[in-house]
Amino acid sequence: MVFCKVEQKQNETRDKDLKKLSDNNMTLNAKKCDFNKAALEFFGFIKSNGGMKPDRMKPDLLKVEGIQNLVPPTNDKELRNVLSMIG
């Protein structure tokens, strides 16, 4: 992932990176590559030149996954902590 504020700089960086790969006999699968995007969704986050932020479009999905992956509480204190997080 390469993010630049100026598109020309981003293109130069991309070309330099692709040349390094080529010089080392490495290739990329073009079907899996996206170039010149303003933002990228990555594991529930949106990465852009402004930084990384949670994907606000999927908060319910993230909550459900988080609850499904919780380790079951083993005592009253842990139960209260879990209930306060999801309640």
pLDDT attached to residue 52: 81
Q: Quote the pTM value.
A: 0.47
Chain segment 38-59, per-residue pLDDT in tens: 788 877 788 887 788 877 766 6
pLDDT at residue 79 tops 80: yes
Residue tagged 């499904």 (tokens): 68
CA–CA distance from 82 to each of 54, 62, 70 (Å)?
22, 16, 9
Tens digits of per-residue pLDDT, 8-43?
A: 888 888 899 999 999 999 998 888 888 878 788 877
Instruction: Evaluate whether 64 touches 58 at the Cβ level (below 8 Å).
Output: no
| Residue-level pLDDT at 61 | 63
Locate the domains of the chain by residue range. 1-54, 57-87
Report the distance separating Cα 44 and Cα 30, nearest Å. Answer: 23
